[in-house]
Amino acid sequence: MDVGECTITESQTEDADWQNKWKEYFKQFYVDDILIKPSWEELKPEDEGKMRIDIDPGTAFGTGMHETTQLCIRQIKKLVTKDTVMLDAGTGSGILSIAGIKLGAAYALGTDLDPCAITAVAENMQVNGIGEDQYDVILGNLIDDKEVQDKVGYEKYDLVCANILAEILVGMTPVIPACMKKGAYYVTSGILKEKEEVVKEVIVKSGLTVEEVTYQGDWCSITAKKN
């Protein structure tokens, strides 16, 4: 096959070129009875009184529109209680932490590799009326950074959420059980259906029991428990 010269060119694009452009495509929507809307949109009169999450991810990940985020929110809704202490690994915009707290969780800690997440989470928590005593965010790699692991803590969490990618979950999952209380739940997504068995295998090898698998589109969410 003649593939031509295979010339590679490199250029830079300023964040400002796309940072606002995508907002044209982010419109409010529902995950079951939870309204998720852009923070810059006015609330419609017919949506008054509904439980809602206002979100502006900025340059962090997570508008809530993706199937994997919706799968996680549905599982959080099933599992959260007023006493739930939650760990959101790869928090992005903080949308799963916000969902957990709005559904009644007592506290949520997020971790992320992206410095943009620190700013995004703080701004989104404020917009949603969530106080600084109800959440925190740690910048760093939970997979192999002992300092981050120590900050997160051990046997502290009733619910751990990780909406990332299957390949990252394979590396992250073995360190998760140490963070969990006995009886705690681990909700994962970012998993294409064809990667389901790979993630299940590492979950089981990490000492957790698979409780439920849910699907939406090409994606799945696996919920496991620490017995």
Lookup result for tokens 């940072």: 19
- Rounded CA-CA distance 109/120 in Å is 14
Output the furthest CA–CA distance in the chain (Å, rounded). 63
Average pLDDT of the segment spanning 3-12: 88
More confident: 36 or 61: 36
Q: How many CB atoms lie within 10 A of CB 44?
A: 11
- Rounded CA-CA distance 83/106 in Å is 5
- Rounded CA-CA distance 80/75 in Å is 9
Q: pLDDT band at 19, cuts 50/70/90?
A: low
- Rounded CA-CA distance 26/40 in Å is 10
Domains, the chain, ordered by start: 64-225 (3.40.50.150)
Contact 132, 68 (CB under 8 A): no
Answer yes or no: is pLDDT of 10 > 80. Answer: yes
- Rounded CA-CA distance 140/208 in Å is 24
pLDDT at 22: 73
Average pLDDT of the segment spanning 91-112: 97
Answer yes or no: is pLDDT of 2 > 90. Answer: no
DSSP state of 11: -
pLDDT at 15: 65
Answer yes or no: is pLDDT of 134 > 70. Answer: yes
Contact 166, 155 (CB under 8 A): no
The pair of three-digit structure tokens given for residue 10, joined into one six-digit string: 């490199």
pLDDT at 123: 95
Answer yes or no: is pLDDT of 189 > 90. Answer: yes
The pair of three-digit structure tokens given for residue 8, joined into one six-digit string: 């590679």
Phi, then psi, of 102 in degrees rounded to 5:
-65, -30
* Bridge partners, 35 (sequence order): 30, 52
Whole-number average pLDDT of the chain: 94
- Rounded CA-CA distance 95/130 in Å is 12
List pLDDT tens digits, range 80-99: 999 999 999 999 999 999 99
Burial class of residue 208 (count of CB atoms within 10 Å of its CB; 0-12, 13-18, 19+):
buried
Answer yes or no: is pLDDT of 73 > 90. Answer: yes
The answer to whether the Cα torsion of 144, 150, 156, 162 is positive or negative is negative
